[in-house]
A = this chain, B = another copy of it.
Amino acid sequence: MSLAEQILQGNIRAAARLMRDIDDGAKSAMEELKVLFPRTGNAFVIGITGPPGAGKSTLVDQITAEYRRRGKRIGIVAVDPTSPFTGGAILGDRIRMNRHADDDGVFIRSLATRGHLGGISRSTGDVVNVMDAMGMDVVIIETVGVGQDEIDIVRMAHTTVVVMVPGLGDDIQAIKAGILEIGDVFVVNKADRPDTDRTVRELAVMLEMNQARQGDWRPKVLKTEAARNVGIHELVEEMESHRAHLFGSGSMKHLLEEKYSRMFIEMLKERLFTEVYGHLHIDGTFRRIMDDLAERRTDPYTAVDRVLAEKFPH
């Protein structure tokens, strides 16, 4: 029986195995994903992003507990594009979420590897699809930081929660700039800190002024203290409101189209490069180009021109 068939029958170990294959970029994984794809589309996918230190892990832990009380099964994908070097995310996997460790209704997976081909947002999408096909009601994607990678990653979600903390310092403007557009719900966590209300006000004003946002959903700014489970119920209600809005307004269709288009493009980019790059290696062209560059007999721009001209003669 294929991994995909085992997964559809509820085999957790098969799911873990396939996710490892996805992370490794194994070719077989794609065949399994093809089988699972028609069984996806039921999970509510939540993205949680925000700067390091905002308490996202604790928040995810509390959201998970809240959904468990509502009888939902939860998948969690913790994505850390910065940690391929030291296997940080794998360590994280072991030490975090202890209280859900023995709960069959919670499935946790860390993704750290980002190969030379990029594509971590794509493998995140693949892992979300596996969890979706497994029958998880809610899949939470949590990112470690809030760079462009993370923005690409949370775009896989239906509802994106941006987590901030009071008074992040000088660069708060810079952080906010890129994420105003992607947040459907904003959370100021660690709301027992002194600057909370000012940060909430600042965010609210920036959201008010922000013209780039599309659609008629107006994001709210909520306060939470994840460590003390304060404000979590309200946060889950707000996420569910956004989900209802997506379905009610017809935005869901548009959102799915964007998601598929992004997946297709990411994969196409990756596969095209693998194909051509592989050939350049096999026939020795790559080594020759590198030598020419080292000796400055050519420049990188001209070298690429030549490869393209050879692959796509017009």
For residue A300, CB closer than 8 A to chain B, the reply is yes
Q: Does A268 lie within 8 Å of B277, measured CB to CB?
A: yes
CA–CA, A83 to B148, complex, Å? 9
Tell me the nearest residue of chain B to A84, going by C-beta: B178
Q: Does B312 lie within 8 Å of A275, measured CB to CB?
A: yes
For residue A171, CB closer than 8 A to chain B, the reply is yes
**A64-72, A154-162, A290-298 - the one binding chain B:** A290-298
Greatest chain B CB density within 10 A among A55, A116, A293 is at: A293
CA–CA, A149 to B302, complex, Å? 25
Q: Does A179 lie within 8 Å of B82, measured CB to CB?
A: yes
For residue A147, CB closer than 8 A to chain B, the reply is yes
Q: Give chain A interface residues in 105-119, CB to chain B under 8 Å.
A: 114, 116-118
Q: Does B151 lie within 8 Å of A82, measured CB to CB?
A: yes
Greatest chain B CB density within 10 A among A34, A92, A210 is at: A34
Q: Does A177 lie within 8 Å of B85, measured CB to CB?
A: yes
Q: Does B52 lie within 8 Å of A175, measured CB to CB?
A: yes
CA–CA, A180 to B177, complex, Å? 27
For residue A7, give the distance in angstroms from its CB to the closest CB of chain B. 15
For residue A281, give the distance in angstroms from its CB to the closest CB of chain B. 11
For A271-307 the 0/1 string (1 means CB < 8 A from B) is: 1110111000000000001100110100111111001
CA–CA, A178 to B52, complex, Å? 13
CA–CA, A181 to B84, complex, Å? 11
Q: Does A82 lie within 8 Å of B171, measured CB to CB?
A: no
For residue A244, CB closer than 8 A to chain B, the reply is no
Tell me the nearest residue of chain B to A289, going by C-beta: B264
Q: Does B301 lie within 8 Å of A267, measured CB to CB?
A: yes
Tell me the nearest residue of chain B to A175, going by C-beta: B52
For residue A145, CB closer than 8 A to chain B, the reply is yes
For residue A10, CB closer than 8 A to chain B, the reply is no
Q: Does B33 lie within 8 Å of A301, measured CB to CB?
A: yes
CA–CA, A168 to B212, complex, Å? 32
Q: Does B178 lie within 8 Å of A82, measured CB to CB?
A: yes
Chain B residues with CB under 8 A of A300 = 37, 260, 263-264, 267
For residue A174, CB closer than 8 A to chain B, the reply is yes
For residue A310, give the distance in angstroms from its CB to the closest CB of chain B. 12
CA–CA, A190 to B52, complex, Å? 18
For residue A186, give the distance in angstroms from its CB to the closest CB of chain B. 15
Q: Does B34 lie within 8 Å of A301, measured CB to CB?
A: yes
For residue A2, CB closer than 8 A to chain B, the reply is no
For residue A313, give the distance in angstroms from its CB to the closest CB of chain B. 12
A sample of 20 cross-chain residue pairs with beta-carbon separation below 8 angstroms, ordered by A number, consists of A34-B299, A37-B300, A38-B299, A52-B175, A55-B170, A57-B170, A82-B146, A82-B151, A82-B174, A83-B177, A88-B174, A145-B146, A145-B147, A145-B174, A147-B148, A260-B290, A260-B294, A271-B308, A272-B272, A273-B273
